[in-house]
Amino acid sequence: MTNTTLDIEALRDAAGAATDFLRTLANPDRLMLLCQLSGGERCVSDLENETGIPQPTLSQQLAVLRREDLVVTRREGKQIYYRIADPKVLAMLDQLQQLFCPED
Amino acid sequence: MTNTTLDIEALRDAAGAATDFLRTLANPDRLMLLCQLSGGERCVSDLENETGIPQPTLSQQLAVLRREDLVVTRREGKQIYYRIADPKVLAMLDQLQQLFCPED
DNA sequence: CAAACAATATATATTTATATATATTGTTTT
DNA sequence: AAAACAATATATATAAATATATATTGTTTG
> Distance from B78 to chain A by nearest Cα, in Å?
26
Bridge-partner residues for A82, per DSSP? A42, A73
Question: Is B19 in Cβ contact with A28 (below 8 Å)?
Answer: yes
State how far the Cα of B101 lies from the Cα of A55, in Å rounded to an integer: 37
Mean pLDDT on A40-51: 94
At a 7 A CB cut-off, the residues bordering strand C are: A 43-45, 48, 55-56, 58-60, 62-63, 73, 78-80; B 23, 26-27, 29, 54-57, 60, 64, 75, 77-78
Give the pLDDT score at A17. Answer: 93
User: If 0-12 CB within 10 Å is exposed, 13-18 middle and 19+ buried, where does residue B91 land?
Assistant: middle
State how far the Cα of B33 lies from the Cα of A57, in Å rounded to an integer: 33
Give the pLDDT score at A6. Answer: 58
- Is the pLDDT confidence value at A104 over 70? no
The separation, in Å, between residue B2 CA and nucleotide D14 C1' comes to: 49
pLDDT of A13-34, one tens digit each? 899 999 999 999 999 999 999 9
- Is the pLDDT confidence value at A78 over 70? yes
pTM of the model: 0.91
State how far the Cα of B73 lies from the Cα of B83, in Å rounded to an integer: 6
State how far the Cα of B104 lies from the Cα of B89, in Å rounded to an integer: 20
* Candidates B4, B18, B28; nearest CB to A100: B18
Residues of B with CB under 8 A from a CB of A: 4, 8, 11-12, 14-19, 21-23, 25-28, 31-32, 35, 50-52, 88, 91-92, 95-96, 98-101
- Is the pLDDT confidence value at A102 over 80? no
State how far the Cα of A41 lies from the Cα of B88, in Å rounded to an integer: 30
> What band does A64 get if pLDDT is binned at 50, 70 and 90?
very high
Using N-to-C axis directions, what is the helix angle for B4-25 and B87-100, rounded to 10°?
80
Cα dihedral B49, B50, B51, B57, rounded to 10, equals -40
List the A71-76 sheet strands across, edge first: A42-43, A79-84, A71-76
pLDDT tens, position by position, for chain B (104 residues)? 556 565 788 888 899 999 999 999 999 999 999 999 999 999 999 999 999 999 899 999 999 999 999 999 999 999 999 999 999 999 999 999 999 987 75
Mean pLDDT on A46-66: 93
State how far the Cα of A34 lies from the Cα of B55, in Å rounded to an integer: 37
Mean pLDDT on A53-82: 94
